[in-house]
Copies of this chain bind each other. A is one copy, B any other.
């Protein structure tokens, strides 16, 4: 199980410092949508330059214009790019083809994707399927409840308000990628928080389930 650190709502200096402070405990680094929209794809380039050995996930949240957006992010050093499950099939297909060309991967963001739409998406088996509770929904309801649906045969990821206390459930579900944002970045001691996440993922630490 890989830990993907999601970096959002900070400037690039802070993002790089944050990633540096926890790099021993995390596997993938996500350049969040807010960084991409605030600073452009240069944010991806900078992150890859600073962490050439980490997998860099560009949270492009592509809805259209697949070829152009995928060229942009893969040429900037992304290893994985996100596309919305709500996008057209042709957009998702083009993202997958582009990822293949760059020897990268596509993560399909299942934000607000119905079960019916998910059924249609199953054909994209080479993609990583990411169940996602939005930041806005978390803030609105005060908690996150990630509904891990069946993604048999594909890599599986989850994002949205995952805390150390809710991690064991995720670990037991056997996810491939667990995406952590503020539970690390907003922790008093991000390095220690990341270390605890890593230990739990590795089964070295029993954490009481909530």
A interface residues (Cβ-Cβ under 8 A, vs B):
8-9, 33-34, 36-43, 60-61, 63-66, 68-69, 72, 84, 86-88, 90-91, 94, 109, 111-112, 134-137, 139-140
Residues on B with C-beta less than 8 A from A65 are: 8-9, 33-34, 134-136
A135 to B36, CA, bound (A): 21
Check if A64 sits within 8 Å of B140, measured CB to CB.
no
**Residue among A37, A39, A112, A140 having the largest count of chain B Cβ atoms under 10 Å:** A37
Check if B68 sits within 8 Å of A34, measured CB to CB.
yes
A63 to B134, CA, bound (A): 8
Check if B136 sits within 8 Å of A91, measured CB to CB.
yes
Check if A88 sits within 8 Å of B137, measured CB to CB.
yes
A134 to B8, CA, bound (A): 27
Residues on B with C-beta less than 8 A from A43 are: 40
Q: A8-B68, A86-B86 are in contact. List 7 more A-B contacts (CB 8 A).
A: A8-B65, A33-B64, A37-B37, A61-B64, A63-B111, A87-B111, A88-B134
- Contacts A84-B86, A86-B84, A111-B64 given; indicate if A72 touches B38 (C-beta within 8 A): yes
- Looking at the complex, which one of B9, B63, B137, B140 makes contact with A68 (CB distance below 8 Å)? B9
Check if B60 sits within 8 Å of A84, measured CB to CB.
no
23 A-B residue contacts at CB 8 Å?
Answer: A8-B68, A9-B65, A9-B68, A33-B69, A34-B68, A34-B72, A37-B69, A38-B40, A38-B41, A61-B63, A61-B64, A63-B111, A64-B134, A65-B134, A84-B84, A84-B86, A87-B111, A88-B134, A88-B136, A90-B136, A90-B137, A91-B134, A94-B136
A36 to B63, CA, bound (A): 14
A64 to B84, CA, bound (A): 12
Residues on B with C-beta less than 8 A from A36 are: 37, 40
Residues on B with C-beta less than 8 A from A64 are: 33, 61, 111, 134-136
Residues on B with C-beta less than 8 A from A134 are: 63-65, 87-88, 90-91
Residues on B with C-beta less than 8 A from A40 are: 36-40, 42-43
